[in-house]
Amino acid sequence: MNNFFKAGLMAMTACAATASFADNSEGLQLAQVSDGFNAEQKYMASCFACHSTGAAGAPKVGAEMMSEWEPRLEKGLDAVVANAINGVNAMPAKGLCFDCNEDDIRALVEYMLETSQ
């Protein structure tokens, strides 16, 4: 991915996060992942099979695979996380991570995005 696109994506993410925080009149609430949650380990246990190969149209995860995620991110990170939580197309709800809460799923999506830079 070229540096111009990376910079633009990072700026859009920062703006969206800032807008979300500014609209939150109850104050900032940080994600509460499960105790002992490790995104890399959980990815390997629950997400790797499809996201490493692109099975059933899953966006691949890995170095320089952001192009797989860009069309999905056009709808925003919250939409991508909602799809992961609820399931989309061939992906089952929570990607079969039955012990993941919604914050864990968000952390997994963020991990996959970071890993795909």
Mean pLDDT (whole number) for 78-103: 95
Distance CA 60, CA 51 (A): 5
Confidence at residue 32, expressed as pLDDT on a 0 to 100 scale: 73
pTM above 0.75, yes or no: no
Residue 34 is classified by DSSP as P
> How many CB atoms are located within 10 Å of the residue 116 CB?
20
pLDDT at 87 over 90: yes
Among 74, 76, 94, residue whose Cα is nearest residue 85: 94
Confidence label for 15 from pLDDT (cuts 50, 70 and 90): very low
Q: How many angstroms separate the most distant Cα atoms in the chain?
A: 42
Residue 90 is classified by DSSP as T
Domains of the chain (ranges plus CATH)?
A: 38-117 (1.10.760.10)
Average pLDDT, the chain: 81
